[in-house]
Amino acid sequence: MEQYAIKGGNPLVGEVEIGGAKNAALGVLAAAIMTDDMNIVDNLPDVRDINVLLQAMESIGVVVQRTDRHTVKINASMISGLVIENEYIKKIRASYYLLGALLGKYKHAEVALPGGCNIGSRKIDLHIKGFKALGATVKIEHGLIIADAKELKGAHIYMDTVSVGATINIMLASALAEGKTVIENAAKEPHVVDVANFLNSMGANIKGAGTDVIRITGVKRLNGSEYSIIPDQIEAGTFMFGAAITRGDVTVKNVIPKHLESTTAKLIEMGCQIEESDDAVRVVASRRPECTHVKTLPYPGFPTDMQPQISVTLALANGTSIVTESIFDNRFKYVDELAKMGSNIKVEGNTAIIEGVDKLTSADLTAPDLRAGAALVLACLTAEGFSTVDDIKYIERGYEDFDVKLRGLGAHIEKVESERELMKFKLKIG
């Protein structure tokens, strides 16, 4: 029954260090097994998704040595198997990056069909389309995706939908293929660029990452490298909306402001003051947020992973806002939870019409998925009185020390594992 106990009402004030980007690290770690040399990866976030992927890698014989909380040494010279069991893939969707990495390196891979946050259909048809275009046969048997190729040859691949996962997986599978691969309509997220930069640091030849056309020229082998993961723009944005929703003053440190542009733009529209420096962004929210309209889009548009965070903030805004979710088809599940706090949101298809209310009241909530869980915590920070958020395992998939960092900003929040601990928290805070 691990949950967050929260007493709301305090504005978030202060500085918070942002960790490495989970969604970049997942692709980088998969890429790291494509050489028999040693790789060192640092600025890894210590979160469940990363630790589960490392366990999946160890399950096939990759030697993983954690030299400190945020650094691992990876040696994939003794891989003994090419089958990633269901126990790992059902915990995290991104285990499917091992499909592209193992196929690219060994021309064979078997990975259980992926799951992932229940935010809508999580298809993998574009991944499979890419592998087939490179010359692999791909079949699905007994819940496993089995990819096999005599050889992999570069191909011209057009992505019907912009897909972060498929773009990364095709980069992995084509890095050692013969000849040139072009990915059209590629995803441009910073984490796609980070994986491409890491592969290039290993000796790959990838150009155009960050644009919608990525060109990969296959190389004979990849070498070991030392690499540091980029900061997590979604973790940073979550704390920035934390400042906005609690009318606080928060500086997120160790960030790349350019990666936060769409978030910053919306916060300014909502009435926040923003100060940017080379590696930090300060958000000052001295009054009630203003309403706005937002539509989630692939990067550099407003990120779908920030949609719950802006929506809970707009639930307290002046006026009516409209939030359109264009990436996933079921990413408003948290609205029912938020209604328990007195919000006034109507969801019609992939659009939420948000009537701002003066305040939210404390309640006992359950996190439906990773980003929605974090957003519900932000909502509880504004509500006078005691709230709880249950199922925080979702939140811990993508946020390292979320409660610790929020306490550092003045929030009354603690992880509790029993009714007794919850009572102790209430008595302590009073």
Residues 249, 13 contacting (CB under 8 angstroms): yes
Q: Which of 117, 214, 378, 383 binds ligand EPZ (CB under 6 A)?
A: 117
Phi first, then psi, for residue 139 (nearest 5°) are -135, 160
Nearer to ligand EPZ (CB atom), residue 325 or residue 403: 325
* Minimum CB–partner distance for residue 203 and ligand EPZ (Å): 24
**Least distance from ligand EPZ to the Cβ atom of residue 17, Å:** 19
Closest approach of ligand EPZ to the CB of residue 128, in Å: 7
Measured CA to CA, the distance from residue 265 to residue 257 in angstroms comes to 11
Pairing of strands 205-207, 351-355: unpaired
- Identified binder of ligand EPZ from the candidate list 58, 87, 125, 184, rule CB under 6 A: 125
Stretch that binds ligand EPZ, among 121-129, 242-250, 273-281, 380-388 (CB under 6 A): 121-129
When asked if residue 392 is in the footprint of ligand EPZ (CB under 6 A), the reply is no
Question: Least Å distance between CB 132 and ligand EPZ?
Answer: 12
Which residue among 69, 123, 207, 393 contacts ligand EPZ (CB under 6 A)? 123
Whether the Cβ atoms of residue 6 and residue 403 lie closer than 8 Å to each other: no
Instruction: State the minimum distance, in angstroms, from the CB of residue 176 to ligand EPZ.
Output: 22
**Cα 86 to Cα 98: distance, rounded to the nearest angstrom:** 13
Helix ranges restricted to H, 247-290: 261-269
Q: Binding pattern to ligand EPZ, positions 348-377, x when CB under 6 A?
A: ----------------------xx------
Catalytic residue among 117, 272, 291, 380: 117
**Is 272 annotated in the active site?**
no
Got the DSSP string for 48-60? HHHHHHHHHHHTT
- Within residues 245-284, the interface with ligand EPZ by CB under 6 A covers none
- Contact yes or no for 145/99 (Cβ under 8 A): yes
Residue span binding ligand EPZ (CB under 6 A) among the ranges 115-123, 221-229, 284-292, 372-380: 115-123
Amino acid identity at 92: I
For residue 303, the Cα-to-chain-centroid distance in whole angstroms is: 10
Q: Which residue from 92, 88, 125, 85 is spatially nearest to 109, judged by alpha carbons?
A: 85
Is 101 near ligand EPZ (CB under 6 A)? no
* Residue number closest to ligand EPZ, CB atom: 165
- Measured CA to CA, the distance from residue 44 to residue 1 in angstroms comes to 27
Q: Which residue number, 194 or 249, has a Cβ lying nearer to ligand EPZ? A: 194
How many C-beta atoms lie closer than 10 Å to residue 404's C-beta? 12
Q: Are 342 and 359 in contact (CB under 8 A)?
A: yes
Using CB under 6 A, which of 122, 180, 340, 426 touches ligand EPZ?
Answer: 122
Burial zone of 313 (CB within 10 Å; 0-12 exposed, 13-18 middle, 19+ buried): buried
Q: Considering the rule CB under 6 A, would residue 50 count as an interface residue with ligand EPZ?
A: no
Q: Does the protein bind ligand EPZ through residue 163 (CB under 6 A)?
A: yes
Site string for ligand EPZ, 8-47 (x = CB under 6 A): ---------------x--x---------------------
DSSP 8-state secondary structure symbol assigned to residue 118: S
From CA 418, how far away is CA 407, in angstroms rounded?
Answer: 20
Name the site residues for ligand EPZ (rule: CB under 6 A).
Answer: 23, 26, 93-94, 117, 121-127, 161, 163-166, 187, 304-305, 327-328, 370-371, 398
Enzyme catalytic residues: 117
